[in-house]
Amino acid sequence: MLATKHIISIEDLTPAEIELVLDTAESFKEVNERRIKKLPTLRGRTIVNLFLEPSTRTRTSFEIAAKRLSADAVNFSGDASATVKGESLADTAETLSAMVCDLVVVRHRYAGAPQILARHMDAHVINGGDGMHEHPTQALLDLFTMRERLGRLHGLRVGIVGDVCHSRVAGSLVRGLIAVGAHPVLIAPPTLLPARADALGVKAVTSLDDVLPELDVVYLLRVQMERAEGMPFPSLREYARLFGMNEARLARMRPDAIIMHPGPMNRGVEISAGVADSDRSLVLDQVNAGVAVRMAAMYLLLGGED
């Protein structure tokens, strides 16, 4: 089982524990392919999905994972939470703690929200994405998908393309890749790269074409269309021309290299429709892996207590 009580950052897990989560998820993925997908593992446990920021994939994935382990899953969205009435997050945490829930999955628009919950309640906490900080279970399912397709993690060269500076997905994935011995490369316009990529121990470049033939994985980050008017590059068309994955770039990749995206995709911007639907794209594999990986995280936090 895991030594940590919470999964707030990918750095809460040692490299050995990351491998344990992935190995456990592998067995749960087999269960998810059965006709009867339910296990009694967490029967009687209560898991709260506290999503105070809009989400479809992550929230649904956690809910399905909890139900397949026979836990009682309770969902709270931002508009249904007392936080819209002015209640502090600390008060929300203490209220949930008084209801004696066992695990809380939290997504919040502000970084640090999961730490506040963890300080004010006895339950386990999983970070479902906080601000521009981290999204650890996304990194775990990405690592699972890479390992499943390529057979290894150590030594892989993974190009993370796009708005690295503001991405919580990248915040966890970079750290996770380093932990398992892979080599992340940050690829973006200068305005979308962190100020000190070298402080993270990673290489940063401003040309996708220069490094594309060397990569085992091209990991595309979503261009946040809701903020496109304020994006620090000339236009979406310009971004697609320089950093979008299209059929011409696909032809220049290694024969066994793969393409990943955390979703939702902006077709025609960071990825063309043809590439998104090609057999080199593992976007749906990532979605599928999300349920198994989140089942593993819940099981390893809760299943070993008894």
Question: Of 46, 58, 92, 137, which one is the catalytic site residue?
Answer: 58
Whether 5 sits among the annotated catalytic residues: the reply is no
Reported as a pLDDT band with limits 50, 70 and 90, residue 229 is low
Residue 10: per-residue pLDDT:
98
Whether 4 sits among the annotated catalytic residues: the reply is no
Reported as a pLDDT band with limits 50, 70 and 90, residue 144 is very high
List the structure tokens of 146: 């890479």
Question: Of 108, 124, 133, 135, which one is the catalytic site residue?
Answer: 135
Distance of alpha carbon 117 from alpha carbon 101, whole angstroms:
13
- Summary count for the chain: helices (H), strands (E): 11, 9
The CATH superfamily label for domain 10-135+287-305 reads Aspartate/ornithine carbamoyltransferase (3.40.50.1370)
Whether 68 sits among the annotated catalytic residues: the reply is no
Reported as a pLDDT band with limits 50, 70 and 90, residue 304 is low
Give residue 84's Cα distance to chain centre. Answer: 26
Q: What mean pLDDT is predicted for residues 32-38?
A: 92
The CATH superfamily label for domain 136-282 reads Aspartate/ornithine carbamoyltransferase (3.40.50.1370)
Distance of alpha carbon 122 from alpha carbon 97, whole angstroms:
6
Whether 249 sits among the annotated catalytic residues: the reply is no
**Mean pLDDT lowest among 89-93, 118-122, 129-133:** 89-93
Question: Of 29, 45, 68, 107, which one is the catalytic site residue?
Answer: 107
**Mean pLDDT lowest among 86-95, 100-109, 133-142:** 86-95
Whether 57 sits among the annotated catalytic residues: the reply is yes
Q: Where are the domain boundaries for CATH 3.40.50.1370 in the chain?
A: 10-135+287-305, 136-282
pLDDT digits (tens, 9 = 90+) for 160-200: 999 998 899 999 999 999 999 999 999 999 988 988 787 77
- Residue 163, classified by CB atoms within 10 Å of its CB into exposed (0-12), middle (13-18) or buried (19+), is buried
Instruction: Tell me which long-range contacts 232-235 makes (C-beta under 8 A, separation of at least 24).
Output: 232/189, 232/191, 232/192, 233/189, 233/191, 233/192
Residues 6+ apart with CB under 8 A from 31: 37, 39, 68
Q: What mean pLDDT is predicted for residues 50-59?
A: 91
Please check the confidence at residue 86 and state whether its pLDDT lies above 60: no
pLDDT digits (tens, 9 = 90+) for 233-284: 778 899 999 999 999 999 999 999 999 999 999 999 999 999 999 999 999 9
Which residue, among 298, 290, 295, 297, has the nearest Cα to 145 in the 3D structure? 290
Distance of alpha carbon 75 from alpha carbon 48, whole angstroms:
6
Please check the confidence at residue 287 and state whether its pLDDT lies above 50: yes
Question: Of 57, 120, 149, 280, which one is the catalytic site residue?
Answer: 57
